[in-house]
Structure 1
Amino acid sequence: MFNVTETIPNDYGILSLLQIIVLQYFEHLHSTCFIKQSADDDLLGNLIVPYPSFWLTFDEANEFLFLNSIEAGCQSFVLTETVALNFLEIFESIHDQAIHRFPNKYVIVLVHPASNASIINRLVDHKTLRDIPRFLILFPSEVDRIDLITKKFVSGENDRDIIILDSYIPSRGSFVHKRHLFPDKLQNLEGQLLRLAIFNYSPYTVWREVYASRNSNAFYNGTTGIYVDGTEIQLFLEFCAKFNCTLEISLEEEDEWGEIFDNRTGNGIIGAVVERRADIGLGALYSWHHENLYLTLSKPISRTGVTCITPKPQLLSSWMTPLLPFSLNLWIAVLTTFVVMSIFLMLMEFLIQNVLLEQNRPLDICTSFMTIGCIFILQTVNLTVNRSTFVTQRIIMASLLFVGLMIGNIYSGGLSSLMTLPRYEQPINTVQDLADSNMHWASTHDAWTFSILMATQPTIVKLLHNFEKHPKEVLHRSAMHQAFSFGIERLPYGHFAVGDYIDKEIAHKYHFMIEDIYFEHCVAMSSKTWPMMEHLDALILVIFQSGIQRYWEQKVISSYEDGEVQLAISTSRHRESPGPITLQPSHLLGAFLMLAIGLVGGGVVFLFELLYVNWDNRWNNQQES
């Protein structure tokens, strides 16, 4: 260190150097924060900043003020030596709370000439610098020399990798080497580990253990014993090839996608990222609102549509054959017409006999209903119109016969088609069908519903209520009995992401809905201060426009998915028609069932009639005696 003398300016040349840096490198930034202690010399008092800026005193400001300055757009920070370490301690937590995200912020630390060089070592050793590649220390190392010091972004094992970028000579107002003071340290990561949180979810992320290091392409637990693949893994293999990094895998098989709690802890993929146990989370992560409050989302990697496979419609039972020619609404209309016509005929006969003919006959309910029933089934009836001279009666009976003819022939035609062509249950094709069927849909994690948690549409709200989460073993057993519908993803290039609890035997029992419940964009998630997000976004856009993702999807599906399952699902809606079929005894099951009901019902009523007559005779005998 050098001794401070009276010939040295009060700011030791730092003010003029800082003025140059602000004008040259901060021009494109939204605003700059200047932070010092209240006891510090007014070193920055005469600094002229032609851009928006905030001036904060660390010991007087609270967390709320720092958060507000970040929300207001602080993309660079100028710190005095006395506040630097304390600011680095809160850098991550403050930015984690912020809504606005400005990656790769600039941090400049002003070191006092009288300070010991150990402060530089303490600064460059701070763990927060892993998220701040644009870090610069202004250190007056001599009377007329200010060294501009940074740290190598990829730290070595045996030293702190301190780099003196350049030196500034205050007396001449110039730099010794005229180098860029904030070089891009991220272009070559020199094999640095990129921590990736995943679980086995084909075709997005696939992993398997390998026993030869030459077959491994990633680290796991500090050793090269894992091989990773998948449509999204391929993106990060390309990323590491471009920026010279190495993948380190964090497996989250138990909690899968996981969740984030209010205290900024969590489990699964997103929990590993929010707790900074991983740099990036990957594996069909969608643009979820809640997770966006805690993490940074990349540009969309791909589009996916979430739909369901539902049980295929089964052949309707043969006993229903007599009921199938008409729909439920039509049956209600026919029965209503039958009752109304019977009552009308009964009243008409009563009025003619008792009012016009004055014969004083009682209401004949049975004859009226039997007459209309015979008309409906195209049987002969004994028409009283033949014995009457009233034109009104003829007109009414003609209309009844016409209606009966139409209904009877329509029913006969529908029944004829049912006897030759099979009829199936109503299929579940749309979101509305799935909600109306009240069939529950299931998967292994609640993440399938994260995207629709804030929905207000009654149909979607009902689907949320009908969703169930179960382990894979339970889902497999339920699928064998077609107890649930199951969530699948419709991939962008014609394939499906299907859980491994759906095997080829089960796949043939299901078909996919023609509508998506919702669609989403798959993204990667990182902490809000991860410095590589801009580079990742740029690579995502390049890969997306290249079209290579179509090849990746085809390659991963053919390598890791069951081709029969994919084929069964993709062709599940193409049911081959058996054509006309030979009549079987089962086709008459409904008629035989109706006959059996009639015989049993008639027999039971006959027994009651016998008992009634027997009881009535005894009662009369007792009264006579």
Structure 2
Amino acid sequence: MKRQCTFRVPLRHSRMKITYAISTETDFEAYAWDTFFLAPMDAGCLAFIVQTSDLKLTVRTFARLAHSPRATHRANRMYLILPSVELPENIFEANIRELYRMRQMGFMPDLVIAKFVTEHNRMHGESSTVESRSEEHIQVELITHRFVGPDPTERLSLDIWTPKKGFLRDANLYPDKVTNLMGKEVTLTAIFYPPYSAVYPDAEPPIYDGLEFRIMYEWAKANNLTWRVLYKPNDWWGEILRNGSGWGLSGHVSMDMADVAFGAIYLWENEHRYTDYSGVELSPLYGGHFWPIVPAPDEPELIRQLKPASDNGADSKPAPPILILKHSSVYFQASLTIVHPRPKLLPGWTVVTSPFNPEMWIAVGASVAMATLALHVTSQSSMKLLGEGKPVVNMYSTWVECAFRTMGLLVLQVPPDERDFSTLRHVPMRHLVTWLILFYFVVTTGYSAGLASVLTLPRYEKPIDTPRDMSERNSKWGAMDECFVFFLRESMDPTMRSLANNFVLGTEEYFAERTKTGEIGFAIEKLQNGHFALPTYINEDSMRYLRIMKEDYVTAHCVFMLRKGSPFMASINSVIRKLRDRGVVLYWEDMAVRKYMNSRDQLAVAGSRYDVDNGPTQLLLRHTTVSTILQKREVEAIKQDSRPTWSVQA
């Protein structure tokens, strides 16, 4: 949808006529003349004097530009609006009343409007241009809205200015309206996510409690305000679209449906382009990413590292600016981790291989090959060099015989040299066999000790303890909102990108059906004081089948989300810092967990890495299957004529 408009903007003491078109379908609403205002706003200009014939359009314009993703400087600004046409008293006052009822005035406390008053206007009720008035008849009334109290739209006259006498009242044109809000109603939006926020709107009276609600209570006491809660149970953290609309907590703030949003909100990059976070001071640097998790290092050194090599040249172009967390006074640190299905018992056939690890089995196999080679070479050399030079058929005369003799040594079957008179008793051969007997006796003893431990302790699959383990095993995991994977989508780490590709978005019922099947892992949040924010399907019963991961995959800070340039930012930050420095936030975490969560569920998650000792394991048939087979073969070999049945005659 395209809309054509024409208006006049005073710029550098001249008038410019600009025709502009806007697109409101997919991208954020933008005008061709936004550059004129965005440049001084991003440069840190905190006061604007604007002459306009359309008050509503001007207010909407500045509110939109402060909210725009193109604006980087965030501040509460002061405005002085000068009308370019003098209107009759009744029309001007009607426009003022409509203007003060606009939603944008709820976050623009420092807006002053100049009203031109002349004797000619008062007598005849006619309109005239500013240029047509004589200087001695001009009076300028400076008016604003109350902003505070139960009726924030009330019109207030601040002062009157005349060319000869100046300000008649010497009033402060921009008084502090935020420190004492005098009962002004502020809209909060939250989700049911204990211990951060516990929302029970249907209770009598409704219950709004939790860690972050307690902070809001303290803010309400400190600044004398009232509040209401915007709660939509089917919305979670939500998302902000490119045009500034959205849903969930972030969408409510972006669309000015709420003043403050909270509920374990992290420093999300996309949402930060449209909103602002409490307790964070940001600094523009070079590069192309937003680093929300760790404080930035030394800024000059970081600039030198991020500047491209071409910056030293005359024709180099500066890299696009980024926003890096410079000074953080956030109140809380949390992390995200995953509970995976518990490792399964290894099958019974693995008992025979469990005493040695794969590297040890490779070494044993290599020793068998080398021993076979040594027996065959020594046997042939002994007969040629030490014997009569005639080939004699014996137990080491062929490769197959040597291989089976070596395998016999591995299971402590000593060759019967003393009873086999066909074997030449040459010294090198006897020495070699004796040393091999000692070597394989040590190997077999170690295997027997390992086998004893395997038969008495259960053996499990290797657990998933790190994000790298998840990536290597292509492990599926999920949550009920994509905020659990926001940090991973644009990560440069291939491990994190693999985690993002394996993420599954589902409903509470979908995950509840799969907690005991071992198909998927589930994301949970770990709080600073060691507690967990758990969905309903993660409880003591389901944790019998799940196990928490050893490492977290994301560690970040929790913040409150406000509108960009919100006038409430400074007062909220002041309250947050005081509560954080006194340790009250951690106490409220413990209180909220005890009051609104199940302590047994918390213990089940925290202790899921430690298996319960059920006593000694009973010896079952599956434990002895392989050992019985080997013992049977050994008995059969003894019954034969001093040779195992698996020996090969040359």
TM range (shorter): 0.7 to 0.9
Shift of 1:491: 0.6
1:331 counterpart (336, 361, 381): 361
2:531 aligned residue? 495
Q: Is the 8 A contact 1:124 1:151 kept in 2?
A: no
Shift of 1:423: 3.4
Q: Is the 8 A contact 1:73 1:100 kept in 2?
A: no
Between the aligned partners of 1:592 and 1:295, the Cα distance in structure 2 is 71
1:136 maps to amino acid: V
1:276 counterpart (256, 264, 267): 256
2:403 counterpart (369, 387, 404): 369
Q: Is the 8 A contact 1:63 1:94 kept in 2?
A: yes
2:571 aligned residue? 535
Between the aligned partners of 2:177 and 2:269, the Cα distance in structure 1 is 32
Could you report, residue by residue, the CA deviation over 1:164-200 in whole angstroms, capped at 9, with x for unpaired residues? 1123343234x33332211112233344332223221
Q: Where is the helix percentage greater, Structure 1 or Structure 2?
A: 1
1:105 counterpart (72, 77, 85): 77
The secondary structure found in structure 1 opposite 2:555 is strand
2:144 counterpart (125, 132, 150): 150
Equivalent pairs: percent with the same residue? Answer: 25
Establish whether residue 378 from structure 1 lines up as the match of residue 372 from structure 2: no
Q: Is the 8 A contact 1:103 1:534 kept in 2?
A: no
1:369 maps to amino acid: A
The secondary structure found in structure 2 opposite 1:125 is helix
> CA 1:540–1:354 in 2, change beyond 3 Å: closer, same or farther?
same
2:566 maps to amino acid: W
1:192 maps to amino acid: K
Moved more, 488-497 or 175-184: 175-184
Please show how residues 160-559 of structure 1 align to structure 2 within 5 Å.
160-173=153-166, 175-210=167-202, 212=204, 215-216=205-206, 227-299=207-279, 300-350=330-380, 352-353=382-383, 357-359=389-391, 364-383=398-417, 387-388=423-424, 390-559=426-595
Moved more, 345-354 or 306-315: 345-354
> CA 1:442–1:102 in 2, change beyond 3 Å: closer, same or farther?
closer
Q: Is the 8 A contact 1:421 1:579 kept in 2?
A: no
1:131 counterpart (107, 131, 136): 107
Give unpaired runs (5+ residues) of structure 1.
1-35, 46-54, 217-226, 600-625
Shift of 1:553: 1.0
Shift of 1:371: 0.7
Between the aligned partners of 1:292 and 1:597, the Cα distance in structure 2 is 72
> CA 1:56–1:236 in 2, change beyond 3 Å: closer, same or farther?
farther
The secondary structure found in structure 2 opposite 1:573 is coil
Q: Is the 8 A contact 2:53 2:84 kept in 1?
A: no
1:27 aligned residue? none
Could you report, residue by residue, the CA deviation over 1:341-397 in whole angstroms, capped at 9, with x for unpaired residues? 224433443555578733276962432222111111122213499843544434433
Between the aligned partners of 1:353 and 1:541, the Cα distance in structure 2 is 91
Q: Is the 8 A contact 2:190 2:197 kept in 1?
A: yes
Moved more, 489-498 or 82-91: 82-91
Moved more, 374-383 or 428-437: 428-437
Moved more, 357-366 or 424-433: 357-366
The secondary structure found in structure 2 opposite 1:73 is coil
The secondary structure found in structure 2 opposite 1:109 is strand
The secondary structure found in structure 2 opposite 1:137 is strand
2:132 aligned residue? none
Between the aligned partners of 2:630 and 2:427, the Cα distance in structure 1 is 39
Q: Is the 8 A contact 1:37 1:57 kept in 2?
A: yes
2:326 aligned residue? none
> CA 1:150–1:517 in 2, change beyond 3 Å: closer, same or farther?
same
Could you report, residue by residue, the CA deviation over 1:548-580 in whole angstroms, capped at 9, with x for unpaired residues? 112211121111111111111122233354565
Between the aligned partners of 2:634 and 2:463, the Cα distance in structure 1 is 33
Q: Is the 8 A contact 2:149 2:182 kept in 1?
A: no
Could you report, residue by residue, the CA deviation over 1:468-510 in whole angstroms, capped at 9, with x for unpaired residues? 1221112112111232222111111121111111121112333
Q: Is the 8 A contact 2:481 2:505 kept in 1?
A: yes
Establish whether residue 116 from structure 1 lines up as the match of residue 88 from structure 2: yes
Between the aligned partners of 1:124 and 1:70, the Cα distance in structure 2 is 28
Q: Is the 8 A contact 2:43 2:73 kept in 1?
A: no
Moved more, 480-489 or 106-115: 106-115
Q: Is the 8 A contact 1:58 1:83 kept in 2?
A: no
1:77 aligned residue? 48
1:185 maps to amino acid: K
The secondary structure found in structure 2 opposite 1:325 is coil
Between the aligned partners of 2:85 and 2:469, the Cα distance in structure 1 is 75
1:388 maps to amino acid: L
The secondary structure found in structure 1 opposite 2:439 is helix
> CA 1:594–1:90 in 2, change beyond 3 Å: closer, same or farther?
farther
2:95 maps to amino acid: R
Between the aligned partners of 2:413 and 2:634, the Cα distance in structure 1 is 18
Between the aligned partners of 1:508 and 1:56, the Cα distance in structure 2 is 74
> CA 1:594–1:70 in 2, change beyond 3 Å: closer, same or farther?
farther
Q: Is the 8 A contact 2:240 2:246 kept in 1?
A: yes
1:380 maps to amino acid: V
Could you report, residue by residue, the CA deviation over 1:414-433 in whole angstroms, capped at 9, with x for unpaired residues? 11222334433323223333
The secondary structure found in structure 1 opposite 2:510 is helix
Between the aligned partners of 2:541 and 2:626, the Cα distance in structure 1 is 32
Give the alignment's TM-score, normalised by structure 2. 0.75
The secondary structure found in structure 2 opposite 1:323 is coil
Could you report, residue by residue, the CA deviation over 1:597-618 in whole angstroms, capped at 9, with x for unpaired residues? 999xxxxxxxxxxxxxxxxxxx
> CA 1:471–1:383 in 2, change beyond 3 Å: closer, same or farther?
farther
> CA 1:459–1:139 in 2, change beyond 3 Å: closer, same or farther?
same
> CA 1:112–1:445 in 2, change beyond 3 Å: closer, same or farther?
closer
Q: Is the 8 A contact 2:235 2:247 kept in 1?
A: yes
The secondary structure found in structure 1 opposite 2:541 is helix
1:89 aligned residue? 60
In the alignment of these two chains, the number of paired residues is: 538
Shift of 1:275: 2.1
Between the aligned partners of 2:633 and 2:38, the Cα distance in structure 1 is 79
The secondary structure found in structure 2 opposite 1:501 is coil
The secondary structure found in structure 2 opposite 1:281 is strand
Between the aligned partners of 2:164 and 2:560, the Cα distance in structure 1 is 50
> CA 1:112–1:290 in 2, change beyond 3 Å: closer, same or farther?
closer
> CA 1:283–1:330 in 2, change beyond 3 Å: closer, same or farther?
same
Moved more, 148-157 or 534-543: 148-157
Give unpaired runs (5+ residues) of structure 2.
1-6, 20-31, 119-136, 280-329, 636-650
The secondary structure found in structure 2 opposite 1:480 is coil
The secondary structure found in structure 1 opposite 2:263 is strand
Q: Is the 8 A contact 1:112 1:139 kept in 2?
A: no
> CA 1:594–1:295 in 2, change beyond 3 Å: closer, same or farther?
farther
